[in-house]
């Protein structure tokens, strides 16, 4: 063997040993040092003034702090990264890592989530959302509804809030005090057949527009009203005149934080634990308080601006419940035995 070949072999061995020692050094140092930087891209379709964006900011703040900077959460609000109509597909495919969505979007993948759109199912007032929360934390939600969502390639991180009982709607030119006042109105509502059927039962028609387009649609008369919180009306500056609060009108939104399953599985166990045991629950608690405080303040501000608050005539709510009862039957027939079990649990939570 020539000297040149000997030198090449020795050099190769030296390099291999150096690389091995370097890797060993890193492995030995790893327990006391943070792992590689992790980035989570969180997308949602709501304006930065909306509570879901603020909730996402709190989630980001807590995770980045608790992970000691190992995780960076990049938030893309107002449909910057993905429009609302494509958010669920995007998180399934991994085009985004995480989304903050309402229950109607979940129902686009798992129709049983339509239960959260049922109007007048849970009694509530502006400070009592316990009946809806009782159902959210029920055994059947954990046993049936969440696993069905996760089978689609999505990790359910948790509901964004214990609240979300959106009993408010606004109109531009007509006060709605009884069911007949709905006739001929075109209302914007979150997507889903349940909401559509409920609105139709009152004689109105409905569409679903991106939140960012509502002000323009209301100004131009494309729609006559919309369903949302008073806070959203205030912060978005909707050009409406009449504000309505009908207890249990649109039930609960089922809004949640979801993550692409492959992204979730790629996270270190300690980061998963932080998210499950601290970040998501604490974000939920913060959001609960923030929602109630914001809604109370919004009512004060909207009254100052001269908007009229309209209450339903006596007997109207009971008549509404009768009108939408066929929608409950449609849900149970549409999805079979599981939907019947889910509806029974939801009604039990209401009592």
For 111, residues 6+ apart whose C-beta sits below 8 A from its C-beta are 334, 335
Mean pLDDT over 264-288 rounds to: 96
What's residue 43's pLDDT? 97
Element (H, E) at 235: helix 230-236
Q: Please, which pLDDT band fits residue 122 given cuts at 50, 70 and 90?
A: confident
Residue 240 DSSP one-character state: -
Q: pLDDT per residue over 157-168, tens digit each?
A: 999 886 655 568
Rg (CA), the chain: 25
What's residue 167's pLDDT? 60
SS3 of residue 312 by DSSP: coil
Q: pLDDT per residue over 47-103, tens digit each?
A: 898 888 999 999 999 999 999 999 999 999 999 998 888 999 999 999 999 999 988
Domains of the chain: 34-163+253-296 (3.40.190.170), 168-251+300-350 (3.40.190.170)
CA atoms within 13 A on the CB side of 144: 20
Q: Please, which pLDDT band fits residue 23 given cuts at 50, 70 and 90?
A: very low
Exposure string of 182-200, with b = 16+ CB inside 10 Å and e = fewer, is beebebbbbbbbbbbbbbe
- DSSP labels for 145-213? IHHHHHTTTEEEEEES-S-----EEEESS----SGGGGTT-EEE--SSHHHHHHHHHTT-EEE---GGG
Using alpha carbons, select from 37, 103, 47 the residue that is nearest to residue 80: 47
What's residue 254's pLDDT? 84
Least confident stretch, 151-155, 198-202, 256-260: 198-202
% residues pLDDT > 70 (the chain): 84
- Phi and psi at 43, nearest 5°, equal -115, 140
What's residue 300's pLDDT? 94
Q: pLDDT per residue over 103-121, tens digit each?
A: 888 999 999 999 988 888 8
What's residue 56's pLDDT? 97
Q: Please, which pLDDT band fits residue 16 given cuts at 50, 70 and 90?
A: very low
For 250, residues 6+ apart whose C-beta sits below 8 A from its C-beta are 117, 119, 166, 167, 169, 189, 195, 198, 227
Q: What is the mean pLDDT of the chain?
A: 86
């Amino acid at each position: 063997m020539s000297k040149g070949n000997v030198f090449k072999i020795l050099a190769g061995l030296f390099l291999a040993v150096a690389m091995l020692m370097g890797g060993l050094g890193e492995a030995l140092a790893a327990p006391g040092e943070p792992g590689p930087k992790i980035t989570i891209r969180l997308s949602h379709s709501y304006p930065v003034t909306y509570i879901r964006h603020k909730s996402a900011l709190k989630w980001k703040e807590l995770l980045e702090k608790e992970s000691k900077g190992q995780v960076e959460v990049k938030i893309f609000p107002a449909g910057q990264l993905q429009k609302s109509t494509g958010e669920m597909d995007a998180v399934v495919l991994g085009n985004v890592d995480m989304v903050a969505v309402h229950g109607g979007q979940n129902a686009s993948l798992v129709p049983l989530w339509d239960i959260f759109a049922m109007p007048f199912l849970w009694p509530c007032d502006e400070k009592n959302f316990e009946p809806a929360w009782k159902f959210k934390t029920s055994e059947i939600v954990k046993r049936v509804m969440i696993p069905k969502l996760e089978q689609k390639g999505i990790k359910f991180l948790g509901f964004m809030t214990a609240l979300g009982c959106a009993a408010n709607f606004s109109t531009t030119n007509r006060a709605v005090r009884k069911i007949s006042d709905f006739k001929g109105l075109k209302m914007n509502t979150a997507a889903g057949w349940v909401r559509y059927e409920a609105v139709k039962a009152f004689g109105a028609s409905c569409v679903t527009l991106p939140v960012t387009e509502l002000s323009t649609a209301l100004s131009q008369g494309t729609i006559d009203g919309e369903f949302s919180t008073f806070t959203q009306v205030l912060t978005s500056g909707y050009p409406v005149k009449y504000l309505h609060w009908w207890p249990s009108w649109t039930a609960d939104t089922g809004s949640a934080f979801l993550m692409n399953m492959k992204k979730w599985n790629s996270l270190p166990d300690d980061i998963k634990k932080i998210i499950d045991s601290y970040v998501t629950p604490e974000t939920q608690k913060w959001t609960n308080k923030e929602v109630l405080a914001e809604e109370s303040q919004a009512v004060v501000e909207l009254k100052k601006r001269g908007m009229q608050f309209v209450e339903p005539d006596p007997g109207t709510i009971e008549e509404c419940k009768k009108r939408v009862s066929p929608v409950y039957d449609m849900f149970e027939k549409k999805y079979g035995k599981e939907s019947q079990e889910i509806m029974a649990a939801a009604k039990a939570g209401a009592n």
